Copies of this chain bind each other. A is one copy, B any other.
Amino acid sequence: MKIGCPKEIKVHEYRVGLVPAGVRELVADGHQVFVQSQAGVGIGIENDAYVAAGATILPDARAVFDSAEMVVKVKEPQSVECAMLRQGQVLFTYLHLAADAAQAQGLVKSGCTAIAYETVAARDGSLPLLTPMSEVAGRMSIQVGATALQKAYGGFGVLLGGVPGVQPARVVILGGGVAGTNAAQMAVGMGADVTIVDKSLKRLRELDAQFGNTIRTAYSTMETIERLVIQADLVIGAVLVTGAAAPKLVTREMVARMEKGGRSGRR
């Protein structure tokens, strides 16, 4: 198959649909791979590396879209990209169509077959192309949260893991799935006081076996959530809502601001 990988053009997107290691595997399996010049430069990959892996470098996106039977990307196609797609061509990328009518219409109009990474499901119901995103989001949520607790970033100046003799921050993670578990791993690793809330006792048991008494687990009821969230320094929302994106984080400071309409005030 002829596979094309254009440079991403969405703002702040530095990633690329195929890295050289992936190109090499595809070429070894008999495919032809076309990569747009400088496609990987945002993450430090030069054209040479793609050539060494067996790709053909093409000068611009247009050339890549024209040559490819399947286009592999990261982000949803921008309108200028939709315009280059054609009947019979396959587009393989994240789409998140739910909130993006313009894109949906553009794809329909192009006549291409668009496969969204986030909807590819394995036989056991898991979402193999979404899971790595949840892992990254879960792990990052804690380091972003730790930063948000710093005074310099508008937080209460609470150090996530405390130090000996000083209580660590209380982190409450709502949802013990992929994102929640990865968040818990980071938060425990940094020494926080972590509670995971989930509606499945079975899942809480697995988490109990994995983390031992470095975390606490709580069965999800309105009462539990209310009590825990009010006491928490950092709340990670890691419940999978179909179509929603990364975990949300809320610090005590944000709650305080919301409650008081502006002023903070912590012990």
| Tier of interface size on chain A | 35 or more
CB-based contact A191/B193 at 8 Å: no
CB-based contact A12/B267 at 8 Å: no
CB-based contact A44/B264 at 8 Å: yes
Give me 5 A-to-B residue pairs in the complex whose CB atoms sit less than 8 angstroms apart, sorted by A's number.
A44-B264, A147-B147, A164-B201, A191-B213, A193-B216
Contact with B along A246-267 (1 / 0, CB 8 A): 0000000000000000001111
In the complex, A209 has a CB within 8 A of chain B: yes
Stretch from A58-66, A93-101, A154-162 forming part of the interface with B: A154-162
In the complex, A189 has a CB within 8 A of chain B: yes
Instruction: Provide the bound-state CA to CA distance between A214 and B166, in Å.
Output: 15
Stretch from A80-88, A108-116, A132-140, A237-245 forming part of the interface with B: A132-140
Stretch from A2-10, A16-24, A68-76 forming part of the interface with B: A16-24
CB distance from A101 to the nearest CB of B (A): 28
CB distance from A139 to the nearest CB of B (A): 6
Asked whether A201 and B143 contact (CB < 8 A) given A191-B213, A214-B214, A216-B167, the answer is: no
Asked whether A223 and B43 contact (CB < 8 A) given A188-B213, A201-B132, the answer is: no
Q: Which residues in B have their C-beta under 8 angstroms from that of A224?
A: 21
